Amino acid sequence: MVTSAGQKSATVDEQSHLFRGVAYLKTGATHFLLGHPLGANTLAALPLLMEREMTLPLGTPAWESGNWSIAGDAFLWRLNTDPLRLLFLGRLPMIWLTLLLGALVFRWGQQLAGLTAGLVALALLLLDPNVLAHGRLITDDMPVTAAFLLTIYAFWGYAQSGRRRWLALTGLGLGLAALSKYSAALLLPTLGLLALWLAWRRRSWRPLLALLPIGLIGWAVIWLFYGLEVCPLPGGAFWDDLFWVLGYFGKGHGAYLLGEASSTGWWYYFPVAYGLKTPLPTLFLLLLAAGVALWRWRQGAKVGETAVFLLLPPFLYLLVSLVTSLNIGYRHLLPMLPFLALATAVSLCRLVDGAWARRTAVAGAAAVVLISLWQWPHYIPYFNALAGGADTRWRLLSDSNVDWGQDLPALAAWQCETGQPLKLSYFGTAHPSAYGLTFEPLPTWAPGPEQGDPMRQPFNPATPAPGFYAISVTNLHGVVLGAERDTFAWFRDREPLARIGGSIFVYSVEANGPPLGVAFSGVRPGDLAAELAAAWMSNDVRPRWFSAGSSLIWPGEGGWLAVAGERPSLPELAALWPEEPIAAAGEQALYRLPPPPPLPWATEAADFGPLTFLGWQPVESGLLTVWRVERETEQPLKIFIHVLDEASDILTQWDGLDVDPATWRPGDMFLQAHVWADWQEAEGRPLRLGVYDGETGVRMGEPLTIFPPVDDQSPAEHSLPWQIDAAVCHRPVAVCSWQSNECAGLRMRGWASGR
């Protein structure tokens, strides 16, 4: 677990669990409602208390509103300098807890049937690839499994000895299980049925009366953990999360099984998952043990107390799993595994006379050891031989059964080795860039970080553009993509170039035509009518996105214009559009777009990093500016224009950019309209123009001051194409601009009187 944990990226839930635990330990915060108690989160966060420089997003809107997704992302990936160290530290308590679970299984097995039974049960549980997969992760699956077993073991100890200390340990286990996960509620009917069976068998009320101190101790553990809070009930935030999760279960959940998707799940989901992901030696030994027990029962042997304690908990757990709609992972069956491992080992090592059963059990356990060594370090996507080969098993189950966002380090190693640029659709909450990946983002599920605008499709799903595509298996299935489930359907039936850790597939797509720059507005590549897309005769489409009502972009090499719906509202902008479309279908139209035309009012003037400002033109109620793209950028750039008063204070302003910076390329040129409803306030006043990062607010270069014309002055005074700069030289006079005459080597200066 230790050696493989360091090779795996943060899985989907780890970020939020770790953040909630740190927030509770450091500040007592309980308002980040996730539908999980805080006990397991707090355990994982304990080692992080040694980190002196750790920062929490205190005072941010996400913190105040209890948005654990945004606040957790900021905590792990933005505010702290070494997120991978924090992640590994948080995984260590989970690994230790899993080892303690194994120790308890060994102890109980040894007590029931001797040393061999204890070792067999230990190997069948602790070296199961599914336990190794989730025993190293910051989730509550292993904590609730350990506490579940502790509770039943302690109640068995009470049944054997009648001592009160076992009642106290049972209550402690019940409280710890409840603090780990709300599925621990199954302990209540389980303990009740066990007590009822013991009372009937012994003709005594004592087992039933014992439930009262057990419940009180369990509740005291919960109440103490939550600081003796009394609102809304004793236990405080424990109830808030419980009410949240009850509402969560009332919603539909995407599920995937054997190539089919469902929002309500299947009653047989977990039996199928158990059959496909449990090691075959374990299944064989379980069936053999069941056969031995059935044979002895038919020979007249009575069902003992031990059998009831080992078989009733997993039986009830399985019954509940048949009716739940939350079909997202084998991991939800983990609380069954310790009991099944013990039942198998005890049946084969105690119920059978002769050494053959023990030897078979030891051989099966040894086979599980070999399987775990062979599977290292990729335990999450483990399937047994019943699932088939690598080309079929990934189609059977999804989500945490195969791909839970764990293989970014392996993908980064592949990219480093091959040097190939990647188009990435990643299922997870980890930041791919934190693992050294450089990539173009593809559509993914809504909470995914570092993704492109989901409304701006980077390729046509029916004819993907050339390149190397790295796609998470969960996204290939498409269940988490909602209405866009078939975004990657083209890839499903094709052989990947590489399978990264079993959870990310890399595909290579070749070009079948020349590269084409296409400016899209109001329509996505995949939604374009087939007869329009056929006009390109190439899959190498390189989209630019713009808003046709207020902007226009020319690909530097020329290209196409694909639009639907809105058209330019400004006459000056409409005059630059191609006259007639090449083809049309309904509201969709396809135009041939030549290289950018020369504009008489566009003269190079100011450098703003990724952009060069070329000039401006007055239009009704505003301005039209022209820009040239100098380099690609991932920054969410915006243009600002401030209307200044006599004291250079801002009267009003325009902010925005209707061309997507993430899709433009060097050499592109675009126009942006800036229109005010209260433009009359700007007439005759200086304007400050610039570019800034819309996320950080950092400006790109120095702002530029321009002077729009005044309506009552002659056009000749304000139609100079090179009038794009300004500087105050003396209080009575300001320089407006200059123009160079390269032939004569002279510089002509234009001046405006200040007063």
Q: Is the pLDDT of residue 721 over 70?
A: no
**What is d(CA 187, CA 208) in angstroms, rounded to the nearest whole number?**
15
| Residue 498 binned pLDDT confidence (cut-offs 50, 70, 90) | very high
Examine residue 395 and state whether it is found in any structural domain, yes or no.
no
> Looking at residue 755, what is its pLDDT?
39
Q: Are residue 137 and residue 276 in the same domain, yes or no?
A: yes
Amino acid in the structure at residue 601: W
Lowest mean pLDDT among 77-81, 451-455, 524-528: 451-455
Residue with the larger pLDDT of the pair 68 and 755? 68
- Report long-range pairs for 238-241 (Cβ below 8 Å, ≥24 apart): 238/37, 238/178, 238/179, 240/30, 240/31, 240/33, 241/33, 241/34, 241/35, 241/36, 241/37, 241/38, 241/182
Residue range 4-23: average pLDDT?
Answer: 96
Q: Are residue 647 and residue 710 in the same domain, yes or no?
A: yes
CA distance to 34, 387, 556, per residue, from 333 (Å): 20, 18, 57
> Looking at residue 87, what is its pLDDT?
97
**Residues linked to residue 641 through DSSP beta bridges, in sequence order:** 654, 689
| Residue 557 binned pLDDT confidence (cut-offs 50, 70, 90) | confident
Main-chain phi, psi angles of 125, to 5 degrees: -85, -60
Tokens (6 digits) for 322 = 């048949």
Tokens (6 digits) for 505 = 């597939």
Sign of the torsion formed by the C-alpha atoms of 517, 520, 524 and 528: negative
Q: Are residue 143 and residue 175 in the same domain, yes or no?
A: yes
Helices (H), 114-231: 115-126, 129-134, 141-161, 164-180, 187-202, 206-209, 211-225
**Residues linked to residue 656 through DSSP beta bridges, in sequence order:** 639
Q: What tens digit of pLDDT does each residue of 566-616 get?
A: 888 889 888 888 888 999 998 999 999 888 888 887 776 789 999 999 999
| Residue 646 binned pLDDT confidence (cut-offs 50, 70, 90) | confident
**What is d(CA 570, CA 552) in angstroms, rounded to the nearest whole number?**
11
Q: Helix, strand or coil for residue 567?
A: coil
Pair type for strands 467-472 and 504-509: antiparallel
> Looking at residue 298, what is its pLDDT?
77
Crossing angle between the packed helical segments 141-161 and 164-180, to the nearest 10 degrees: 160
Three-class DSSP labels, 601-659: CEEEEEEECCEEEEEEEEECCEEEEEEEECCCCCCCEEEEEEEECCCCCEEEEEEECCE
Main-chain phi, psi angles of 11, to 5 degrees: -80, 175
Q: Is the pLDDT of residue 405 over 50?
A: yes
Q: Are residue 220 and residue 368 in the same domain, yes or no?
A: yes
Q: Are residue 666 and residue 627 in the same domain, yes or no?
A: yes
Q: Is the pLDDT of residue 548 over 60?
A: yes
Residue range 155-171: average pLDDT?
Answer: 94
Lowest mean pLDDT among 32-36, 212-216, 296-300, 474-478: 296-300
Examine residue 380 and state whether it is found in any structural domain, yes or no.
no
Q: Are residue 585 and residue 658 in the same domain, yes or no?
A: no
For residues 600-627, one letter each, b for 16 or more C-beta atoms within 10 angstroms of the residue's C-beta and e for the rest, the string is ebbbebbebebbbbbbbbbbebbbbbbb
Examine residue 146 and state whether it is found in any structural domain, yes or no.
yes
Examine residue 304 and state whether it is found in any structural domain, yes or no.
yes
| Residue 367 binned pLDDT confidence (cut-offs 50, 70, 90) | very high
Q: What tens digit of pLDDT does each residue of 514-527 get?
A: 999 999 999 999 89
Cα dihedral 13, 73, 505, 256, rounded to 10, equals 40
For the CA atoms of the chain, what is the radius of gyration? 33
Q: Which residue, 593, 613, 639, sits at the end of a domain?
A: 593
Tokens (6 digits) for 78 = 């933005």
Q: What angle do CA 468, 469, 475 make, to 5 degrees?
A: 175
Q: Hunting for tokens 């029931």 — which residue is that? A: 112
> Looking at residue 678, what is its pLDDT?
76
Pair type for strands 622-629 and 611-619: antiparallel
**What is d(CA 740, CA 464) in angstroms, rounded to the nearest whole number?**
48
**What is d(CA 283, CA 299) in angstroms, rounded to the nearest whole number?**
24
Q: Are residue 38 and residue 148 in the same domain, yes or no?
A: yes
Q: Are residue 691 and residue 726 in the same domain, yes or no?
A: yes
Lowest mean pLDDT among 180-184, 270-274, 479-483, 658-662: 479-483
The domain total for the chain is 4
> Looking at residue 695, what is its pLDDT?
87
Q: Are residue 194 and residue 99 in the same domain, yes or no?
A: yes
Examine residue 390 and state whether it is found in any structural domain, yes or no.
no
Contact 75, 310 (CB under 8 A): no
User: DSSP letters of 321-359?
Assistant: HTT-S----GGGGGGGHHHHHHHHHHHHHHSS-SHHHHH
For residues 110-131, one letter each, b for 16 or more C-beta atoms within 10 angstroms of the residue's C-beta and e for the rest, the string is bbbbeebbbbbbbbbbbbbbbb
Q: Is the pLDDT of residue 86 over 80?
A: yes
Contact 549, 566 (CB under 8 A): yes
Q: Which residue, 540, 570, 593, sits at the end of a domain?
A: 593
Residue range 242-263: average pLDDT?
Answer: 82
Examine residue 251 and state whether it is found in any structural domain, yes or no.
yes
Helices (H), 82-128: 83-113, 115-126
> Looking at residue 108, what is its pLDDT?
97
Examine residue 451 and state whether it is found in any structural domain, yes or no.
yes
Q: Are residue 288 and residue 434 in the same domain, yes or no?
A: no
CA distance to 135, 247, 276, 309, 352, per residue, from 338 (Å): 13, 30, 18, 12, 21
Q: Is the pLDDT of residue 710 over 70?
A: no
Contact 544, 663 (CB under 8 A): yes
Sheet containing strand 541-545, edge to edge, reads 541-545, 516-521, 559-564, 588-593, 583-585
Q: Is the pLDDT of residue 174 over 90?
A: yes
| Residue 754 binned pLDDT confidence (cut-offs 50, 70, 90) | very low
- Is residue 361 exposed (0-12), middle (13-18) or buried (19+ Cβ within 10 Å)? buried
Residue range 227-247: average pLDDT?
Answer: 82
> Looking at residue 213, what is its pLDDT?
96
> Looking at residue 726, what is its pLDDT?
52
Main-chain phi, psi angles of 199, to 5 degrees: -65, -40
Tokens (6 digits) for 496 = 């990947």
**What is d(CA 432, CA 450) in angstroms, rounded to the nearest whole number?**
8
Q: What tens digit of pLDDT does each residue of 308-364 get?
A: 999 999 999 999 999 888 888 999 999 999 999 999 999 998 877 768 888 999 999
Tokens (6 digits) for 749 = 């200066």
Q: Is the pLDDT of residue 742 over 80?
A: no
> Looking at residue 736, what is its pLDDT?
53
Examine residue 242 and state whether it is found in any structural domain, yes or no.
yes
- Report long-range pairs for 198-205 (Cβ below 8 Å, ≥24 apart): 198/159, 198/305, 201/305
**What is d(CA 183, CA 36) in angstroms, rounded to the nearest whole number?**
10
Q: Are residue 304 and residue 338 in the same domain, yes or no?
A: yes
Q: Helix, strand or coil for residue 210?
A: coil
Contact 271, 65 (CB under 8 A): no
Amino acid in the structure at residue 437: L
**What is d(CA 391, CA 389) in angstroms, rounded to the nearest whole number?**
5
Sheet containing strand 669-675, edge to edge, reads 551-554, 669-675, 622-629, 611-619, 602-608
Supply the range of the domain harboring residue 543. Answer: 516-593
Q: Are residue 588 and residue 724 in the same domain, yes or no?
A: no
Residue range 50-64: average pLDDT?
Answer: 92
Q: Hunting for tokens 């090449």 — which residue is that? A: 582
DSSP state of 307: H
**What is d(CA 638, CA 608) in angstroms, rounded to the nearest whole number?**
11
CA distance to 135, 232, 518, 520, 595, per residue, from 525 (Å): 44, 52, 10, 8, 21
Amino acid in the structure at residue 275: G
Cβ neighbors of 578 (< 8 A, separation 6 or more) are: 561, 591, 592, 593, 594
> Looking at residue 160, what is its pLDDT?
92
> Looking at residue 618, what is its pLDDT?
87
Pair type for strands 260-262 and 255-257: antiparallel
Q: Which residue, 462, 486, 509, sits at the end of a domain?
A: 509
